[in-house]
Amino acid sequence: MTMHNEDVAAAFEEMADLLAIRGENSFRIRAYRRAAQVVRGLARQLADLGGTEAFDELPGIGTDLAAKIAELLETGHARALEKLRKQVPAGLRELLALPGLGPVRVRALYSGLNVEGIEDLRGALADGRLAELRGFGPKIRSQLLAATAAASSGPRRVAFSVATQYARPLKAYLERVAGVTRVEIAGSYRRGRDTVGDIDVVVCAAEGAAPIQALERYDDLQSLNAAGTTKASGVLRNGLPLDIRVLPKESFGAALHYLTGSRDHVVQVRRLAQKKGLKLSEYGLFRGAKRLAGATEEGVYAALGLQWIPPELRENLGEIAAAQRRALPMLIERADLQGDLHAHTSASDGNDSLKKMAAAAQTRGLRYLAVTDHSKYLGITRGLDAARLARQMDEIDKLNATLSDLTLLKGAEVDILEDGSLAMADAVLKRLDLVVIAVHSQFGLSEAKQTRRILRALERPYVSILAHPFGRLLGGRPGYPLDFERVLAAARDRPCYLEINSQPTRLDLDDAYAKRARDGGALLSIASDAHSADQLDYLDDGVRQARRGWVTKDDVLNARPLHELRALLRDTLR
């Protein structure tokens, strides 16, 4: 079996859990968790990195963990993990995941009552045995009762676009509370992650009680689990957890920084402060009792000798070192996009006419819009054959003649068939301004077959952009396995450009692959894949992922003005 980075990360996380349950040194446990995080964030596969020496170079990974990575890659197992699994019942891990249960209580449950999993815990709660266990009073018992009941439904992350629907009204509601001067949604939402696990809110107010009382009356709140004077946590009606902090304005920037995270980023910045003899908390940056900064994030970063780091980069993946060198990338912005290179009309499976799509592009300030309706192929409703595509091209010519500030480009989204050939004849594709190719079937092929299929498609003469390269659907299906390094190299050298599809449930390439593509020298197309006029706004979502991938204006095909774009597209049609 091939061990991927995710498998190695999962092994380290499991080891961390098992060590925690055994009551081992917490810093040792933290080292395993950090290693899992580092491995998960790697741009390249560990297997391609070399050997033990190369692993040892990774941050947070020393001799011991480097050897364990090598062992996992070579054998698919880690003896240390196997040993731990024999010592700790498997069910204890699921207990550790329950809210309210940490390593100490899990150990108490196991040693005191032989509870080895959620089922046992339910039993111990039901027959009253748990009440006799020291440290498990009535409050904790009822909390655990709720937790065991909720465990079956399970915690889940929601798409960013779903979180927005809850975060925006909540922000607006809190902004109306008396004494509140500012409200920001922080956390992974502010960092622009594709999925969001909870809503973190930072409220600026002189006194904390009023906003938290107001929250208790909020319509969309399901329950409040904990509520103090500056901090509360609860659950929204859709099941999304909520955390709120209220701080005065002299601390607001420090609090925003702290709650925006990521946790690893914040810890690293705090360590940096510590090295300088300072202390950073959500209340500010302090030397002794003296507050050096805290009102703004910019002030906190500046006082530590750092550039302000855009939230999308705060993943402890090198952004802190770059900020020290004042070498952060100038991230792409929505306003940099001159056009959109993937959109559908009612000619295939879109909702709106060519004319309406053009008007929507104009109102959004786009200078060009590529019309890329589907080719005729099984599974795609109303795909265009050569004759209908020819009629659409005439229609585009006529419309272009009436448009002054927008140019419609003639394109198609053509299926990559299982053998790597395309679902439309070269003679037809040749007449287009650009050809978007994509996989819409046979997601279950092996990595070798899927890779070969796409590499063959990239050898075709008329191929401009590879759309949604992994075919993933958030909450639907994971991306198919692909040797991305080979696809990237082939696309770059051809050239064919790689798409960051902006559909909120796709976001494909994702942030990490966008970074790899950029580092590998590929040009990217940030495309809406709009199936209606409104969906042109999805470009915001694509830009957010691109920013998380350290993507700059120079890395983006559709940040180029039309004449440059045309020249680049001509290179793809030969």
Residues of this chain that interact with DNA (CB under 7 A) are 25, 27-28, 30-32, 35, 59-66, 80, 98-106, 134-141, 143, 198, 200, 208, 226-233, 241, 243, 259, 263, 266-267, 270-271, 273-275, 279-283
Residue 189 C-beta: closest distance to DNA, Å = 12
Nearer to DNA, 230 or 451 (CB): 230
Distance CA 437, CA 288 (A): 60
Residue 464 C-beta: closest distance to DNA, Å = 43
Residues with Cβ < 8 Å from 318, sequence gap 6 or more? none
Nearer to DNA, 268 or 346 (CB): 268
Residues with Cβ < 8 Å from 83, sequence gap 6 or more? none
Residues with Cβ < 8 Å from 567, sequence gap 6 or more? none
Residue 142 C-beta: closest distance to DNA, Å = 8
Contact 571, 495 (CB under 8 A): yes
- Structure token digits, residue 490: 């082939």
Residue 53 C-beta: closest distance to DNA, Å = 13
Residue 35 C-beta: closest distance to DNA, Å = 7
Nearer to DNA, 183 or 496 (CB): 183
Nearer to DNA, 184 or 336 (CB): 184
Residue 205 C-beta: closest distance to DNA, Å = 13
- Nearest Cα to 202, choosing from 219, 216, 191, 187? 187
My answer on whether omega of the bond before 509 falls inside 30° of 0, hence cis, is yes
Nearer to DNA, 31 or 88 (CB): 31
Residue 268 C-beta: closest distance to DNA, Å = 8
Residue 546 C-beta: closest distance to DNA, Å = 26
Beta bridge partners of 374: 413
- Structure token digits, residue 70: 């090598």
Distance CA 115, CA 188 (A): 35
- Nearest Cα to 500, choosing from 519, 515, 487, 486? 515
Phi–psi pair at 535, nearest 5 degrees:
-70, -5
Nearer to DNA, 291 or 494 (CB): 291
Residue 210 C-beta: closest distance to DNA, Å = 13
Q: Work out the number of other CB atoms within 10 angstroms of the CB of residue 557.
A: 26
C-alpha radius of gyration, the chain, whole number = 26
Nearer to DNA, 286 or 308 (CB): 286
- Nearest Cα to 389, choosing from 374, 378, 403? 374
Residue 519 C-beta: closest distance to DNA, Å = 22
Beta bridge partners of 525: 499
Contact 527, 499 (CB under 8 A): yes
Residues 373-395: b if buried by 16+ CB within 10 A, e if exposed: bbbbbeebeebbeeeebeebbeb
Residues 210-234: b if buried by 16+ CB within 10 A, e if exposed: bbbebbeebeebeebeebeebebbb
Residue 22 C-beta: closest distance to DNA, Å = 12
Residue 91 C-beta: closest distance to DNA, Å = 16
Distance CA 174, CA 539 (A): 28
CA angle 105, 106, 111 (to 5 degrees): 95
Nearer to DNA, 103 or 350 (CB): 103
- Nearest Cα to 389, choosing from 377, 406, 402, 379? 377
Nearer to DNA, 104 or 390 (CB): 104
Residue 243 C-beta: closest distance to DNA, Å = 5
Nearer to DNA, 55 or 538 (CB): 55
Distance CA 10, CA 28 (A): 16
Nearer to DNA, 183 or 366 (CB): 183
Nearer to DNA, 136 or 538 (CB): 136
Q: Both ends of the chain: CA-CA distance in Å?
A: 40
Nearer to DNA, 136 or 377 (CB): 136
Grouping H, G, I as helix, E, B as strand and the rest as coil, residue 19 is: helix
Is residue 182 packed enough to be buried (19+ CB in 10 Å), middle (13-18) or exposed (0-12)? middle
Distance CA 60, CA 69 (A): 13
